[in-house]
């Protein structure tokens, strides 16, 4: 097996496994060697499960030898953002308050991938409780962007994005609450998907904001992202918000092209970095060349998306994180009585950004302020949904930048929360509306050589059309960028 195994897509590896050209054990060993050599610089993983990876890979080889592969991708390893609970493996949400918690069960996403035969490489780093856009809010250490180790990989799923981009794993799971899959995918030069809310189970997902959180795949190719999402999506009776309808086949017709598709270009979304604007304009021209018709759409309520999000999400976080009281599980600090013990446990266990959002949410929900803040934010959410519905009366998909800039420097925005929050200005409205969206590489910005992402937003449950457009764009662009060969790696 060649050394370029670490840069192959999951689908390529699956084909080689089918043909007997490679074994799952060989793939696992290559990834372990790669992680040994590079992850001390990138810090993508919070917890590598090398022994389990080897055991899972050996079991996969035995199944394939017996003709009993569980799926096409049996033996292709996967990583999980450490916000998915994993039976017998520490699950921390990158928070000191959960640093020693070992769950007794698997999240549905994990169990479905395990049923498909995917070995686990480990648990990846994130902003604590998925609250952040750079992975600098991790309770343990920041992750770094493989394209430039002085830059952030994005967040909150920055560890998963960095792991895929650096060749540590062919694909990985993240979660997207306001852009936390798409934004790191854009900054790290890979594909990231935010599926329709309710299309994939949140059971076993450590909650941040329950009406916004969604598991989503990060991968090197559009086909890989579709395949991983397909494996885990579909109704789950353990999640009360799970859509009961059958989930569409994402791979059927993915190569059908986009001739005749109507794509809306968002009037209000203009990147602040010149190189990003250039690549996004080139992306629009490419979509038109491929046969789509483009037209400008106006989504005026989107400019209020960040304001609404930072009332709704903290309000839900305030409620969800109330359970971390030092009594039932998690960190317990000493205290003279239960009030002192709870206060000390939460003070020691939560980081600054989590505390900030809990306080914002508690204030927004408090008596006398509920209608003025939380209630108005929910009305803005309704306006965003209505604006999207009007736009989709005239177009099939919407295209826009994923982020206003390329990856920013570590420490550049940590002292200015608003500047950090505004990095998600193009992604947050999609979560408020519940629609599906994907970020795909659109090339490298000329001024810094860092990746730029194009976001394609679909109607709810119209992921097949979204993937078809993303696949056509990806195949035509032929983006072969990866940080492979950069001296620091």
> Which pLDDT does position 328 carry in this prediction?
81
User: Degrees (nearest 5) of the Cα angle 154, 6, 113?
Assistant: 75
pLDDT tens column, 256-288: 999 999 999 999 999 999 999 999 999 999 999
Sheet holding 397-401, edge to edge: 45-48, 120-124, 78-81, 171-175, 215-219, 191-194, 436-444, 451-458, 397-401, 262-266, 293-297
User: For residue 2, what pLDDT band results from cuts at 50, 70 and 90?
Assistant: low
Return the pLDDT at 489: 64
Whether residue 316 is predicted with pLDDT greater than 90 in this model: the reply is yes
Quote the CA–CA distance of 120 and 437 in Å, as a whole number.
26
Neighbours of 366 (CB within 10 A): 12
Q: Which of 91, 111, 138, 156 is catalytic?
A: 156
pLDDT digits (tens, 9 = 90+) for 188-209: 999 999 999 999 999 999 999 9
Q: Is 262 helix (H, G, I), strand (E, B) or coil?
A: strand
Convert the pLDDT of each residue in 401-446 to its tens digit: 999 999 999 999 999 999 999 999 999 999 999 999 999 999 999 9
Residues 6+ apart with CB under 8 A from 263: 287, 292, 293, 294, 295, 395, 396, 397, 398, 399, 469
Residue 1 in this model has a pLDDT that exceeds 50: no
Dihedral through CA 406, CA 410, CA 416, CA 418, nearest 10?
A: 30
Band (484; pLDDT cuts 50, 70, 90): low
Q: How far apart are the C-alpha atoms of 8 and 242, rounded to whole Å?
A: 33
Kindly report the average pLDDT of the chain as a whole number: 95
pLDDT at 367: 85
CA–CA dist 194, 190 (Å, integer): 14
Q: What is the pLDDT of residues 377-394, one digit of tens each?
A: 999 999 999 999 999 999
For residue 486, pLDDT over 80 is answered with no
Q: Pick the catalytic residue: 138, 160, 180, 482?
A: 180
Three-state secondary-structure class, residue 305:
helix
pLDDT(321) > 90: yes
- Taking the C-alpha atoms of residue 420 and residue 62, their distance in angstroms, rounded to an integer, is 48
Q: Among 64-68, 241-245, 332-336, which is the least confidently predicted range?
A: 332-336
Under 8 Å between Cβ of 308 and 380: yes
pLDDT at 6: 93
Name the DSSP class of 374: I
Confirm whether 180 is a catalytic residue.
yes
Contact 357, 209 (CB under 8 A): no
Reported in sequence order, the residue ranges of 243-350 that DSSP labels E, i.e. its strands, are 262-266, 293-297
- Could you give the CA distance from residue 330 to residue 324 in angstroms, rounded to a whole number? 7
Cα–Cα separations (whole angstroms), residue 231 to 52, 53, 113, 201: 21, 19, 7, 12
* Cα separation, 226 vs 467, whole angstroms: 7
DSSP letter at 200 equals: S
What is the longest distance spanned by two Cα atoms in the chain?
70
Determine the Cα angle at 381 with ends 374 and 126, to 5°: 80
- Is 156 assigned a catalytic role? yes
Q: What is the CA radius of gyration of the chain?
A: 21
- pLDDT-above-70 percentage for the chain: 98
74-83 pLDDT, tens per residue? 999 999 999 9
pLDDT band at 221 (very low <50, low <70, confident <90, very high): very high
In whole angstroms, what is the distance from residue 468 CA to residue 289 CA?
A: 15
Its sign, for the CA torsion 439, 249, 213, 458, is: positive
Report the run of H or E that residue 317 belongs to, with start and end.
helix 305-320
pLDDT of residue 9: 96
Instruction: Write down the CATH number for the domain with range 3-244+253-258.
Output: 3.90.1300.10
- Which pLDDT does position 470 carry in this prediction? 98
Does residue 240 have a pLDDT over 90?
Answer: yes
Q: Domain map of the chain by residue range?
A: 3-244+253-258
User: Residue written as tokens 């992750």?
Assistant: 143
């Amino acid at each position: 097996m060649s050394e370029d195994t670490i840069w192959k897509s999951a689908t390529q590896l699956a084909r080689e496994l089918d043909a007997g050209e490679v074994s799952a054990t060989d793939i696992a060993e290559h990834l372990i060697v790669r992680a040994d050599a590079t992850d001390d610089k990138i810090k993508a993983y919070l917890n590598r499960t090398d022994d389990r990876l080897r055991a899972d890979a050996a079991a996969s080889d035995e199944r394939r030898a017996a003709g009993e592969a569980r799926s096409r991708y049996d033996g292709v390893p996967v990583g999980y953002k450490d916000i998915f609970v994993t039976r017998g493996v520490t699950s921390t949400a990158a928070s000191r308050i959960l640093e020693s918690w070992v769950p007794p069960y698997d999240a549905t996403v994990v169990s479905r991938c395990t049923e498909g035969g995917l070995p686990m490489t480990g648990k990846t780093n994130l902003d604590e409780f998925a609250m952040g856009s750079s992975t600098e809010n991790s309770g343990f250490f920041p992750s770094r962007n493989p394209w430039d180790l002085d830059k952030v990989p994005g967040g909150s799923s920055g560890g998963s994005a960095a792991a895929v981009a650096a060749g540590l794993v062919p694909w990985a799971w993240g979660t997207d609450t306001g852009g936390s899959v798409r934004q790191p995918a854009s900054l790290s030069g890979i594909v990231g998907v935010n599926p329709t809310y309710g299309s994939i189970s949140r059971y076993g997902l450590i909650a941040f904001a329950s009406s916004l959180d969604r598991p989503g795949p990060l991968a090197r190719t559009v086909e890989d992202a579709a395949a991983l999402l397909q494996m885990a999506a579909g109704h789950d009776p353990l999640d009360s918000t799970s859509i009961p309808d059958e989930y569409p086949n994402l791979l059927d017709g993915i190569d059908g092209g986009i001739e005749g598709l109507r794509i809306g270009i968002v009037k209000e979304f203009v990147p602040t970095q010149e190189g990003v604007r250039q690549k996004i304009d080139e992306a629009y021209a490419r979509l038109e060349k491929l046969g789509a018709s483009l037209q400008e759409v106006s989504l005026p309520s989107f400019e209020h998306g960040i304001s609404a999000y930072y009332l709704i999400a903290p309000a839900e976080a305030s409620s969800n994180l109330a359970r971390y009281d030092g009594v039932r599980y998690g960190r317990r600090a000493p205290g003279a009585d239960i009030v002192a013990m709870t206060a000390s446990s939460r003070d020691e266990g939560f980081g600054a950004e989590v505390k900030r959002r809990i306080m914002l949410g508690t204030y927004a929900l408090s008596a006398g302020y509920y209608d003025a803040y939380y209630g108005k934010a929910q009305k803005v959410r309704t306006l965003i949904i209505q604006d999207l519905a009007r736009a989709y009366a005239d177009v099939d998909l919407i295209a826009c930048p994923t982020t206003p800039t390329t990856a920013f420097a570590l420490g550049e925005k940590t002292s200015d929360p608003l500047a950090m929050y505004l990095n998600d200005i193009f992604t947050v409205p999609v979560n408020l509306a519940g629609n599906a969206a994907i970020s795909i590489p659109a090339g490298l910005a000329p001024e810094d050589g860092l990746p730029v992402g194009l976001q394609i937003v679909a109607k709810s449950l119209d992921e097949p059309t979204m993937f078809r457009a993303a696949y056509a764009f990806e195949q035509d662009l032929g983006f072969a960028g990866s940080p492979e060969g950069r001296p620091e790696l």
